[in-house]
Chain A
Amino acid sequence: MLLSLNWLKDYFAKSDVRLDPKELAEQLTMRGLAVSSIKRPAIGLEHVVAGRIEKIEKHPNADRLSVTWVVVSEGENAPRLQIVCGAKNISEGDIVPVAVEGAVLPGNLEIKNTTLRGVDSHGMLCSGKELNLSQDSQGILQLPKHSQIGRPLAQLLGSDDTVLEFELTPNRPDCLSVLGLAREIAPLIRTKLREAKPARFRISPHRTSAIVKVEVDDPGLCPRYVARVIDGLKVAESPEWIKQRLQSVGIRSVNNIVDITNFVMYEYGQPLHAFDLRKIESGTIRVSACKAPMDFTLLSGERLELKEGDILIQDGEKPIALAGIMGGLNSQIAEDTTSIVLESAAFLPEQIRKTTKRLGLHTESSKRFERGVDLVGVAAASERAASLLRDSFGGNVYHPPIDTNETTIRELTIAADMRDVRKLTGLYDLTSEQAAEVLEEIGISSHKKSTNILSVRIPSFRLDLRETVDIVEEIARIIGYDAIPQHFAISPATYDRFDEGQIDFENRARQSLANLGLREAIHYSFTSEANLKNFGNGGNTLVRLLNPISEEMKVLRNTLLPSLVQTYLYNKNRKVKNQKLFEVARVYLSDAQEETGVKETTFVSGLISGSTHPRSWNTQQNNVNFYTAKGILESLVRQLTTVFLAFEPQKNHQLFHPNRSAVIKLGLREIGILGEIHPYIRSTLLETDEAVVLFELNLDALKKFERTTVRFKTPSRFPTSEFDIALLVDKHITCNALVDTIRRVGGNLLAGLEMFDVYEGEKIPQDKKGLAFHLSLGTTERTLLDEEAHQLREKITQSLAEKHGAQLRT
């Protein structure tokens, strides 16, 4: 919403009020009417003057361009500037804004003499948009015919004007009008609104109803419709003052009749529409919901399809306007129109919104209707427009008009309980007298009904005031939130905390991985379907968005791994080495058991690459591999939980190296996967020689086994007996098998076990591998005798030999 301060001043009792735009903007913002910018249209227009187009010719070298000759000063011998122009809406004799050399237009566009496709051009003819005067970029701005040639545009347009741009909240449609804003501004500048003189019409010999009829099918869709016939009109250019007003708020002047409807819409907030009376052939205006899809052409020339439910204004059965949004081409004001039907109505906001959203058609009119209009104002706006058409253009107004709802508009009264006002605002000393005074400031009258009850009469235009809490807000708003004290509440809820275990667990996982050297990444929850399928996670449980932004953001992730791989690639392309990344986030699977049909599970996933340590002159470099990631995972799980995870080889996952990956199991349940990335993906997609290892784990599955506390064990006071055993076994024997045997035989006396070396190579047969363990034997009760230790060691090696064919290496 734009507000011209010059226009605003028309509505104050004193016409010479002084307004400080910056201060006013600040005050309004603090009253909930946020001003987003202050515009001074004249700024930047110093070298833009009114010029008359003397001659237009086609550009010799460009079809879309024309060459114009323009005079920008009065006099017989005034020089003619040759200017190349691309617009179509110009003709010889037009008075238009001309930016001459030296002008700097909004957006820092500097105007210089130049050559366009081989023709010299000494300036520019400007559109409203180029001058930041309107949104209209279609054609050159047309200035009034009698404008003084050479006069700076700033003077022509009223250079003293300032325009405030508002970002209004949807609850205040009343402020989508100059009058509405004037109501809010008057108390801020301590002035009163000018009393509007009621328009007086003589009862005409012919009533409107004698000429047209109005039928409203469903008053729910159209609670009030006021129609008025006005004849004796002549379509012409609007007078300067109307053009200037419309111009100042960015509305293009069309002709006197259309301009008046726009003028009153902006003034009162009530959109109006004028039909050419000749076009209403049936004599009946019908407001009706569209019953079946049909084509319709708007007055803008745009063709669109109407759908069931759209509210239509019909000439009998033929639609002539899309109610509340835009009129039809078939009933618009033409050059020879002399009689009109002036429509002022209210329509069901929900339906207007539905239709505009569907069609993507947002107009000044729909903007107001979809937020709701003042039912009383429907008649007032009609009168205002009628009197302007009569007084300015000699229109003959048929009076009284047709009004479908004159009688049933009732005033709303709210009994506001002052105890609620005090309780909610924290203004505990506020009296009902003070509250009444505050409301009076913006024209809301009230009276004290009882000690605590203030009876508030709601003006018809305040559609947002419907219950006590609205009055509370209104009082607080006018008093000012700054005036409300600050208090610090302590609630008994402090002692009644919610279980934060899940969130803590996730955060502990994050912190553990960060401590282990990984950096946390956060990715979008959606990705492309191809991305999930290519990385081996398609399946029929994918969750898709109905209205995705793009194919790349269409499916909710069921694994975090593809995102990590993409981020790896992103960074690799920026020459980052040794990336260590993790993410803790939810994945989504269809699941009919869930209330929403989607099961959300928190996963932790990671990607490590390059060398294990940052490169240093002081340490040896090792590349990450399967075991590095496994170590990270085990450390993470050890810190978070009390469980042991089992790792089993796997070959089926497309993303992973078939010989260097494992599924992770908790008991019988698969809860994750770990491994080096498939060499094919590494060489084709990632194009790297660097080792890349990935892991993913279902964090929710681990939550049940969270390590919540520490069970302390006193360290043994007795020394342990320590020794190494080096074994030679067949290659297929797993480390786990040997460990199981050692543990079983060692029993309670095995105080510690560490696998510290693996060897394959020349020194041993090709089908064998060497594994070395360090064992600690001992008990917390006494020192183990050398002989006992020796015997146990023998027993262990014997079992290893029997069970796994393990030989001792010497």
Chain B
Amino acid sequence: MIDNIQRIREEARIRISSIEDLEELDRLRVHYLGKKGLITTILHQLKNLEDEKRRELGATINKAKDELESEISLRKNELRKLQIERELEKSQPIDVTLPGSVPLEAGSLHPITRVTHQMVNCLKRIGFSVVSGPEVELEYYNFEALNTPEHHPARDLQDTFYINKPVLLRSHTSPVQIRTMKSKQPPLQVLAVGKVYRSDYDVTHTPMFHQMEGLMVDHDISLADLKGLLGYFIKNIFGARPLRFRPSYFPFVEPGAEVDMQCVLCKGNGRECRMCSSTGWLEICGCGMVHPNVFKAVNYDPDRYTGLAFGMGIERIAMLKYGIEDLRSFFENDYRMLEQF
């Protein structure tokens, strides 16, 4: 019987290797391994043998069966491969340069939103949180509490939009800081971001624009901290560039300063530069130490606390970052501009 098996096995092996057709291979499989196949039949015959003999023969036959199965399967894959290769030889490659088609064209955020996220995230990392407040404000929050008395130039009707005195459209985001300070004692580290309004409309002014202002109040906050903070911020937004802090005046801070960054266009040489009016420097940010009168207005003790504050126009930052030259284009919403962000 073993000889018989060996013979069948040998014969099958030779036949498998010579088969060139998948259907023929399947017929062969049925011939040997099908329900009535040669191997299956032999396995059935084992029933009549005594135990020991059956076990011995059974092992041999099963081994032969397994081997045969795997040989058939291998040959099957070989034949398939050959078949596919023949088919591929007949076909042509596609034009891979045809444009792709997306299921959905992604939209975009407005450049102002985009740059705002960058600015805000940079400062959130060092502990600031964002607060918001109304755009329609009271004179008190917009001016008086900010050490800007009645006859200060900033209060002229020409600059501020009024709804009806004393209700106005906030001319800066600083009233948010007043409201925030009134709601919580120091320490405080907040950003106010949003739309602000000024009655100015020409090539370099739009009646609405966006501002981000930061405020940090604690014991012993100093000008040195302000310099460190803004150095970090500007480096994050624009990369390492020379900066200068120069004295300036805003009624709600003292000492007050303005931060200039070396011009991104002329790299500071200032020759015939339209971006920096040939000064070599770009004004980026107004800042300073919170004026004691502001603290008094919000019931902070100016003897215990000091604070730093800074503010900047977001459009200006976006213009410098993205190379946008016309301020007004931010609010035209030209699709061909929006698509670039």
A481 contacts B247, C-beta separation under 8 Å: yes
CB nearest neighbor in A for B149: A350
Bound Cα distance A492, B132 (Å): 21
A510 within 8 A of partner (CB):
yes
Q: Is A487 an interface residue (CB 8 A)?
A: yes
- Chain B residues with CB under 8 Å of A349's CB are 151
A596 to B161 alpha-carbon distance, docked (Å): 14
* B222 with A426: CB separation less than 8 A: yes
**B313 is an interface residue with CB less than 8 A from chain A:** no
What per-residue 1/0 map shows which CB atoms of A458-490 lie under 8 Å from chain B? 000000000101101100110001101111111
In the complex, whether A598 has a CB less than 8 A from a CB of chain B is yes
Residue of A476, A500, A515, A570 near B247 (CB, 8 A) is A476
Nearest-Cβ distance from residue B332 to partner chain A, whole angstroms? 7
Interface status of B106 (Cβ within 8 A of chain A): yes
User: When the two chains form their complex, are residues A521 and B338 in contact, meaning their CB atoms are under 8 A apart?
Assistant: yes
A520 & B257 in contact (Cβ 8 Å cutoff): no
Contact A491 B254, CB 8 Å, known A354-B151, A424-B289, A613-B105: no
Q: Is A808 an interface residue (CB 8 A)?
A: no
Interface status of A548 (Cβ within 8 A of chain B): yes
**A662 in the interface, Cβ–Cβ < 8 Å?**
no
* A493/B197 in contact, CB under 8 A: no
A525 engages B224 (CB within 8 Å)? no
**A169, closest chain B residue (CB):** B249
Kindly state whether residue B42 has any CB partner on chain A within 8 Å.
Answer: no
- Closest-CB distance, A651 to chain B (whole angstroms): 30
Given contacts A469-B291, A523-B333, contact A424 B223 (CB under 8 A): yes
A272 contacts the other chain (CB 8 A): no
Q: Size class of B's contact patch? A: 35 or more
How many A-B contacts if CB must be within 8 Å? 266
Q: Which residues of chain B have C-beta atoms less than 8 A from A484's C-beta? A: 223-224, 227, 245
Determine the distance from Cα of A525 to Cα of B190 in the docked complex, in whole angstroms: 25
Q: Smallest CB-CB separation from B98: which chain A residue? A: A617
A194 vs B135: C-alpha distance in the bound complex, in angstroms? 54
**Interface-side segment among B33-41, B54-62, B80-88, B163-171:** B163-171
Of B13-21, B43-51, B228-236, the one touching chain A:
B228-236
Q: Does A630 contact B (CB under 8 A)?
A: no
| Residues of chain B with a CB closer than 8 A to A357's CB | 156-158
Check A481–B110 contact: CB distance below 8 A.
no
Stretch at the interface among A5-13, A533-541, A571-579: A571-579
CB–CB B245/A547 < 8 A: no
| B23 at interface by CB-CB < 8 Å | no
Q: Is the CB of B105 within 8 A of A30?
A: no
A465 to B332, alpha carbons, bound, how many Å? 46
Complex contact B164–A546 (CB within 8 A): yes
Residues on the B chain within 8 Å of A170, using CB: 152-153, 249
Q: Mark B288-329, 1 if CB is under 8 A from A, else 0.
A: 010110000000000000100000000000000000000000
Instruction: Select the residue from A469, A502, A507 with max chain B CB neighbours within 10 A.
Output: A469
Tell me, rounded to whole Å, the shortest Cβ–Cβ distance linking B190 to chain A.
Answer: 6
Interface string of B97-139 (1 = CB under 8 A from A): 0111111111111101100010000000011011110111110
Is there an interface contact between A549 and B201, defined as CB atoms closer than 8 Å?
yes
Is B265 positioned at the interface, with any CB of A under 8 Å from its CB?
no
CA of A581 to CA of B108 in the docked complex: distance in angstroms?
A: 9
Separation of A492 and B186 alpha carbons in the complex (Å)? 9
A241 CB within 8 Å of chain B: no
Q: Flag if B218 contacts A549 (CB, 8 Å).
A: no
In the complex with contacts A498-B130, A520-B107, A616-B101, A426-B333 CB distance below 8 A:
no
Cα distance A658–B98 in the bound complex, in angstroms: 43
The complex places the Cα of A425 from the Cα of B308 at a distance, in Å, of 11
Taking the nearest CB of chain A, how far is it from the CB of B153, in angstroms? Answer: 6
Bound CA span A484–B197, Å: 34
Q: Are B245 and A481 in contact (CB under 8 A)?
A: yes
Over the window 689-709 of chain A, the binary record of Cβ atoms lying under 8 Å from chain B Cβ atoms (1 yes, 0 no) is: 000000000000000000000
Give A526 to B163 CA distance when docked, in angstroms.
12
Contact (Cβ within 8 A) A519 B136: no
Residues of A contacting B136 in the complex (Cβ-Cβ under 8 angstroms): 543, 556, 588, 596-598, 600
Query: Smallest CB-CB separation from A600: which chain B residue?
Result: B134
- CB closest residue in chain B, given A597: B167
Report the minimum CB–CB distance from B290 to chain A (whole Å).
10
Q: Which B residue sits closest to A170, measured CB to CB? A: B153
Q: Is A549 touching B199 in the complex (CB atoms < 8 A)? A: yes
Task: Please pick, from B131, B187, B254, the residue contacting A498 in the complex, using a CB distance under 8 A.
Answer: B131
- Asked if A654 is at the interface (CB within 8 A of a chain B CB), the reply is no
Closest to B151 in A: A350
Please tell me if B24 contacts chain A, counting CB pairs below 8 Å.
no
Size of the chain A interface, CB-CB below 8 angstroms = 94
How near does chain B come to A244, taking the closest CB pair, in angstroms? 28
Contact A516 B232 (CB under 8 A): no
- Measured in the bound complex, the distance between the Cα atoms of B228 and A52 in whole Å is 63
Q: Which of A537-586 contact B (CB under 8 A)?
A: 543-549, 553, 556, 567, 570-571, 574, 576, 579-582, 586
Q: Which residues of A contact B138 (CB under 8 A)?
A: 595-596
Known: A30-B246, A470-B254. A516 touches B163 (CB 8 A): no
A417 → chain B, closest Cβ, in Å?
Answer: 10
Nearest Cβ on chain A to B258's Cβ, whole angstroms:
8
Residues of B within 8 A of A510 (CB): 109, 113
Inside 8 A of B306's CB, which chain A residues have their CB? 423-424
Q: Does B10 contact A (CB under 8 A)?
A: no
In this assembly, does A171 line the interface, its C-beta being within 8 Å of a C-beta of chain B?
Answer: yes
Least CB distance, A38 to chain B, in whole angstroms: 10
Contact of A574 among B106, B130, B336 (CB under 8 A): B336
Residues of A within 8 A of B227 (CB): 426, 481, 484-487
B199 touches A586 (CB 8 A): no
Query: How far is B32's CA from A182's CA once the two chains are assembled, in angstroms?
Result: 115
- Interface core residue of B167, B218, B333 (most chain A CB under 10 Å): B333
Q: Does A284 contact B (CB under 8 A)?
A: no
Report Cα–Cα, A619/B299, bound state, in Å.
65
Q: Does A496 contact B190, Cβ atoms closer than 8 Å?
A: no
Verify B189–A524 contact, CB threshold 8 A. Answer: no
Give bound CA distance, A524 to B198, whole Å. Answer: 12
Taking the nearest CB of chain A, how far is it from the CB of B31, in angstroms? 38
Question: How far in angstroms is the closest Cβ of chain B from A116?
Answer: 33
User: Which of B110, B188, B197, B217 interacts with A525 by CB under 8 Å?
Assistant: B197
Contact (A473, B187) CB under 8 Å given A489-B221, A515-B107, A545-B162: no
B255-A472 in contact (CB<8A)? yes
Q: Is B150's beta carbon under 8 Å from chain A?
A: yes
| Inter-chain contact B157/A32, CB cutoff 8 Å | no
> B157's closest neighbor in chain A, by CB?
A547
Contacts of B268 in A (CB 8 A): none
Residue of A nearest to B230 (CB): A486
Is A519's CB under 8 angstroms from B99's CB?
A: no
A547 touches B331 (CB 8 A): no
List A residues 502-535 near B (Cβ within 8 Å): 502-503, 507, 510-511, 513-526
Q: How far is the CA of A489 from the CA of B231 in the complex (A)?
A: 12
Asked whether B220 is an interface residue with its Cβ less than 8 Å from the other chain, the reply is: yes
Inter-chain contact B106/A350, CB cutoff 8 Å:
no
Assembled-state Cα–Cα distance A484/B232 (Å)? 16
Interface flag for A102 (CB, 8 Å): no
List 5 A-B pairs, minimum CB-CB distance, nearest first: A426-B224, A32-B247, A494-B127, A426-B222, A169-B249
Supply 16 A–B pairs (Cβ within 8 Å), ascending by A.
A29-B246, A426-B227, A467-B292, A470-B254, A484-B245, A487-B227, A488-B228, A488-B229, A493-B127, A498-B130, A519-B107, A524-B208, A525-B135, A570-B333, A597-B167, A600-B136
With contacts A498-B131, A525-B195 known, what are 20 further pairs, Cβ within 8 A?
Answer: A30-B244, A354-B151, A484-B223, A484-B227, A488-B232, A490-B127, A494-B126, A498-B180, A516-B104, A520-B108, A543-B136, A544-B163, A546-B164, A570-B332, A581-B333, A581-B338, A588-B136, A597-B167, A613-B104, A617-B98
Binding site for A on B (CB under 8 A): 98-110, 112-113, 117, 126-127, 129-132, 134-138, 150-153, 156-158, 161-165, 167, 169, 180, 186-190, 193, 195, 197, 199, 201, 206-208, 216-218, 220-225, 227-229, 231-232, 244-249, 254-257, 277, 289, 291-292, 306, 330-336, 338-339
